[in-house]
Amino acid sequence: MKRKRGRNASVNGGVEKKEKGTFGYFMLIFYLFLIFFRPFDLVPSLKVLHLPMVAGALCLFSYIASRFTSGRPIFPFTPITRVLAVMTVWMGITVPFAVWIHGSLRGLYNDWSKMLILFLLLANVLESARNVQKAIWTCILGATGISVIAIGLKVFLGESVSEGRLVTDASGLYSGPNFFSMTLILLLPYALFFFFLHRSVLIRIFAGFVVAAFTVANMMTESRTGMVGEILVVIMAFWMLRDWGVSLVKTVGAVILAAVLFLPLAPKGLWERFSTVFGSYDINKLDRNSAAGSALGSEEQRKELLVRALIITVENPVFGVGMNNFPTASHDRFNSGPEDWLGCHNTFLQISSELGVPGLVIYLALLYAAWKTVRSTKIRLSREKTDLPDTRQLRLLTDATMISLAGYILFSTFAHLGYQAYFFWVAGLGQALSNISLRPLPASAPVPALEPEPAAAV
């Protein structure tokens, strides 16, 4: 009977070559390091080198050349890529109807095209579970470095703050406290799974440090969505860890220990910002510069922006106002002040107002395709009758990716993330894991009997 899959990367020469990596793979790792650690933001003189553009271009050229010489398709069609293609076509159709055509065009070829390339490379350059894991560790190390630097500057020098909230000198994924928090939420599930399940004690200790650094940084951002997101991510991770033999008693014990260690470190501003959710305040009696006053002002502003997005969607239901055009359309439609050029703080309304209701339907289909891809991979791996090392890695990474995608969807209801890297990063990893799980097992590979995985000691 022919086996369908297998993931032991050292079985034969062909797979072993992939395990060692290619030039494109190393360029992808370098590119991920650049966008997650952003050394050119920390050392501005590096910006003249345009390192992300160079690394991304080299990775893309290497990928295209490799695919062309091997006879494989450059753009493999999967459920996710099909919806992305439809989304791209629809964006192009909406351009002539945009409030600011040049801005819409620039968003399409500058922002959206980069995200498509990021997804394409992550989905297809990472061809083994070990390489996916190395890519994730690169991102984790970059975000940990950024977090430690930001915490250190705030604690010891009083820097890296905006209205008392933790920020960084890095841009991109860390542009503001809420986006900083979003980046940490995406990576947290992987760190949690490595902490509980990795077979190396040293790696588990370091993963514990990563979880601690992310938690402290997240609290210092004073992002209410970030803290709620972390709580939900932790709950989902602990629920899935039961399938790995980690009991709820251990996970609850870890939560209690973490609460004892970290809650005293939570800044006063975080509690003040949460108090506006559960308490009744008169904003006219609050100091606008206080954490509570800032939070309440932010809530009122967000509610107004959501109403504006709904009105703009109703007035432009088919083609919207154009990609990246909500701030312009909102400013013009509601005669806003010169400082009021803001996004709508909700990805779904961002898409519906800028790309119309058809764009929103396509975006929802995109989220469904990504979720179904990761979910199908999880189901496929749960039926695997071998316990090869790569199979275990795939299971671990797939579970963490499912939680990361759920965290993104949660955050999307409180931030406008439609054309940014967060979704494409997690969807690209999900597609890579799916591709690897479908790879045929070499005929010479031994098929060991399945044995229960012992629960990892904490």
Q: Which pLDDT belongs to residue 349?
A: 95
Q: Residue 26: which H helix or E strand, with range?
A: helix 23-37
* Neighbouring C-alpha atoms within 13 Å toward the C-beta of 1: 4
Structure tokens at 324: 């990246």
Q: How far apart are CA 49 and CA 64, in angstroms?
A: 24
Q: How far apart are CA 324 and CA 101, in angstroms?
A: 10
**Contact (CB, 8 A) for 342 and 327:** yes
Whether residues 205 and 225 fall in one domain: yes
Q: Which pLDDT belongs to residue 294?
A: 58
In this structure, is residue 412 part of a structural domain?
Answer: yes
Whether residues 414 and 324 fall in one domain: yes
Whether residues 198 and 246 fall in one domain: yes
Q: What is the overall mean pLDDT for the chain?
A: 84
**Contact (CB, 8 A) for 166 and 179:** no
In this structure, is residue 38 part of a structural domain?
Answer: yes
Whether residues 139 and 110 fall in one domain: no
Residue 117 one-letter amino acid: I
What pLDDT digit, counting tens, does each position of 369-390 carry? 999 999 999 999 888 755 566 7
Whether residues 152 and 176 fall in one domain: yes
Whether residues 69 and 82 fall in one domain: no
In this structure, is residue 341 part of a structural domain?
Answer: yes
Q: Which pLDDT belongs to residue 389?
A: 63
- Of 233, 266, 299, at which residue does a domain stop? 266
- Of 9, 39, 74, at which residue does a domain stop? 74
Q: Which pLDDT belongs to residue 293?
A: 53
In this structure, is residue 404 part of a structural domain?
Answer: yes
Please give the C-alpha separations between residue 219 and each of 83, 172, 189, 267, 306, in angstroms, as whole numbers: 36, 20, 17, 7, 26
Whether residues 175 and 249 fall in one domain: yes
Q: Which pLDDT belongs to residue 262?
A: 78
Whether residues 93 and 44 fall in one domain: no
- Of 266, 301, 336, at which residue does a domain stop? 266
Whether residues 135 and 262 fall in one domain: yes
* Domain range for 63: 18-74
How many distinct structural domains can be found in the chain?
A: 3
What pLDDT digit, counting tens, does each position of 66-104 carry? 999 998 998 899 999 999 999 999 999 999 999 999 999
181: left (phi over 0), alpha (psi -120 to 50) or beta: alpha
Q: How far apart are CA 268 and CA 84, in angstroms?
A: 43
Helices 389-412 and 421-437: crossing angle, nearest 10°?
A: 150
Query: What residue ranges of the chain have pLDDT lower than 70?
Result: 1-21, 159-164, 271, 273-299, 336-340, 385-389, 440-458
Q: Residue 120: which H helix or E strand, with range?
A: helix 113-125
What pLDDT digit, counting tens, does each position of 260-280 carry? 887 777 777 776 766 665 555
Q: Which pLDDT belongs to residue 114?
A: 94
In this structure, is residue 60 part of a structural domain?
Answer: yes
Whether residues 25 and 47 fall in one domain: yes
In this structure, is residue 209 part of a structural domain?
Answer: yes
Q: Which pLDDT belongs to residue 234?
A: 93
**Contact (CB, 8 A) for 332 and 98:** no
Whether residues 185 and 209 fall in one domain: yes
Max Cα separation, the chain?
75
Q: How far apart are CA 232 and CA 405, in angstroms?
A: 12
Q: Which pLDDT belongs to residue 276?
A: 63
In this structure, is residue 379 part of a structural domain?
Answer: yes
H-assigned helices in 316-388: 326-333, 347-382
pTM of the model: 0.87
Whether residues 117 and 137 fall in one domain: no
In this structure, is residue 34 part of a structural domain?
Answer: yes
